[in-house]
Structure 1
């Protein structure tokens, strides 16, 4: 039955190709779906000029008592990711205030004028090769006027 043997060989080869491209066991690959983006009503809360498109997928944006929390998932290497975060927040008018990168997690700090205005925390995600990003910023409208106004106005 050469037809049946050929069909079985093709099926086996297909399974090897799929397994080889999955980046992990079937169980791990199934538990690592592509992160869903935050809904537009949440991303509308982002300050003017803040784009995290190069950082990764923004999955949630929450405004709570003068603070904006942005959660994202990234596949960028941590050394590049911290620089991309710093660039994104700087483009929104905040200023870099320091960085601590330990290789398995990192923090990036920001100011607005003389005030501490936020930080990003980067940690390994559950999925191999991904990083969870939690960016917390003081909302521009809540900064004291002595800070020079909202970061987006200090350009």
Structure 2
């Protein structure tokens, strides 16, 4: 449920965190791309794709290894929802063959704000990696996340 509390964007009807509502609905890329969704990082309101991708990879690997336990505890559907949320967001961030948004929000401004994400009003700039401004660490971790996500959803019914 921790990851559900970290959700950014338009929350689904099955939201189990009663004190959370929609937030950061205007997150956009430099050319107006929709960057809503994903998870906030570390109790603040910036979305950093590297830790988000790493967390998603780890959670997905756990699902692949221990699917029977998630099923036995009646948490399997929640786990699929949990990993689908950031996977959908990370897909949105990959806006072209050589452009991938890796952060939304400014840490300095964000850390000066002590409030709910639903009430944020500060600017939320978006930062990307490109061929001329690379970031192989975040690109590689995102690739791992997509590979793990493929395995999880490809084998969902088995």
State if a TM-score over 0.5 links the two structures: no
Q: Which one has the bigger strand percentage?
A: 1
Q: Which one has the bigger helix percentage?
A: 2
| TM value normalised by structure 1 | 0.25
Q: Which has the higher contact order (CA 8 A, sep 6+)?
A: 2
